[in-house]
Chain A
Amino acid sequence: MKAKKDYEAVIGLEVHVHLKTKTKAFCGCSTEFGQEPNSQACPVCLGFPGSLPVLNETALDYAIKVGLALNCQVQEYTKFDRKNYFYPDLPKNYQISQYDLPIAKEGFLDIEAGGKNKRIAIRRVHLEEDAGKLIHKEEISLVDFNRAGIPLLEIVSDPEINSPEEAYEYLTVLKSIIEYLGVSDCDMEKGSLRCDANISLKQKGAKELGVKAELKNMNSFKAVKDALAFEIGRQGGLLDDGKAIIQETRLWDAKLQETVSMRSKEEAQDYRYFPEPDLVPFIISREKKEEIRKSIPELPAQKLLRFTKEFGLSEYDAKILVSSKQDAEYVERLMRAYPREDKKPLVNWLIGPVTALASASNLIISELKIPGGIDELIDLIINTEDGKISNLTAKSVFAESVSTANLASNIIREKNLFQISDASALESEVDAVIKENPQSVQAYQAGKSNAIMFLVGQVMKKTGGKANPKVVQEILKRRLQ
């Protein structure tokens, strides 16, 4: 669907991330993923009568850390509230959340989309507990409470995102920051990162906002992008036809690749928020805030800047290499170990063959097991740079080394793959090729300079790829003059 008129999309994102604490937000149960259903539950997270919540201070610290990293004002005084609604996965039928005094508010996130830099305002960052998980069988529904009570951070943007691409970029940058902070796995497949989106359309340049739809059930950043794109088309089509948009919640159907209405606003819930009387308000001291601020590592944006300056990386290359903290640290180690001033060959290797091989096994580059580690990789690159082996050979040696767990240097030695650059050692092969290919020789001598490449190829074939093509070409040129 494509709208006829020119509309501007107004998008706000609500991101939930599981905080990687050892124990749940308000009890001592483990937060480990993938355990036997209901094996990680106690009277507190099951909401048994008489049980009381006690805040996991690490969860609070993590929330403050994220707030600071997102340039928010971290509140001096924060409290929890109860969000009341009935649902079988919610053991107390209220969720401990935060309403009017979130831990952090009024921050921002810088993104780059469509070649332009843009600052997206963060409205609030608050801490709450996750619900359990419903498992629907044919006749019955079961509840697994292992997830109930896991600390969940909700990060809400202002509606300042104007395209699905910007939304995608916002999520990518946000995820990367949170991963850098080490406070969450941000794994959408495990449900440790979830995203809902609000979207409305308005006439381009208009001030008044349109009626919004809330989109849920997107299981990847791409799904968020696709759902938003679909919704722009759907809402645009309705507006084109002069029809009204209904304020409603819509679910993304990944199979159909469309959004489907779930509930309209008339059925919207009244959550009856009120201060959680079982928890006392928390004072976040300036000292604590500063202590946590000091523990924040270099974030992706700063790292990118430093990499471009320190290692002469292009912004494009640097951006790829810093997106994961683990990779960035790995890359930095490589950069420092690489003995030459010009880092470009190393960068090309990382973005080229290393990335290709890693992603083929669904790994990030730092996870790729290279026999002999970074020293072997650097030796291989230096040897290639020095012309001791050909670029092509180096790549296949690298692949073989990773798949057979044999050192690259061993493979080169065993198979005697060092490039032959000594002209005297190549003379006889060149003579033979000239003799065997008179037409090509003639063509070259008649002025078809391209023909020499065929002859070079024939020499390479004869030497099993070991000949240095540059040297071969020089000999040929000399001989055929």
Chain B
Amino acid sequence: MTENEKDIEMLRSDPKGLILKYQETIRIIVKKFISQGLYNPTEFEDIVQDVNAILLSKIQTMQTHYNGMSLFRTYLSVIVRNICLKESTKQKRKSLVVQEVPEEIEVRATVDETMMIGHEVRKLKAILSLYRERKSKILLCLKLCFRIPLSRDDVFSWCERCEEHDCVMLLRHFGSNFEEMKDNEIYRIVTPIFNKYEAKTNSPDAVRKWIDYKIHEIIDLLNGNSKKRNHTAETLKILIDDYFSPFLTPK
């Protein structure tokens, strides 16, 4: 019997025991929200208890709705996340900065930085996956925005039927260092190519606005509900650099 099969059985026969089993997971999620400034750190135990009380009241709903499609632990994580967000809105708790976190419940910053960046790169990769067919175009545009040289793969991932002379033209402009090139010049060059293969008539400014919008959307997704807004265009550039780095291949 797998761990998840045991969970499913427990959800039916001993739901309270199941919630007890996942106390560690619940505490980690609450801590994560504290670290994001959503809750006052001194309320840690209270919040955990509130979450437990709400979970107990939701047992019947969980029994009805959970079908075993995903792991129970993941399903519970979604529920705990939703409870935390709902409670935080309801109680209008004030966010506090990390410096005020008491030592005993401090979210320790002893984590290896590479691991941390690795996690953020995986998160970025997951975000990009959500865009499905548009992922390749977004990646190509992100490279252009952050002045990261393009490769043939970037061009043909975006458009398999891209003609050789167009690919050569793009690589001539953007295949090596183009840090000094201005935004309007970049969009003036790429827009006709985009229009040609996507059968559109966009202006360079429209393409610029589209990619700006996507960059903000990606930054928002990276930040999530964190009130500290750790990610900016600059940190996104670092992540994109790492994403394409041959030494830090994302999982």
To the question of whether A and B form a pair in one complex, the answer is no
Q: Report B's interface with A, CB cutoff 8 A.
A: none
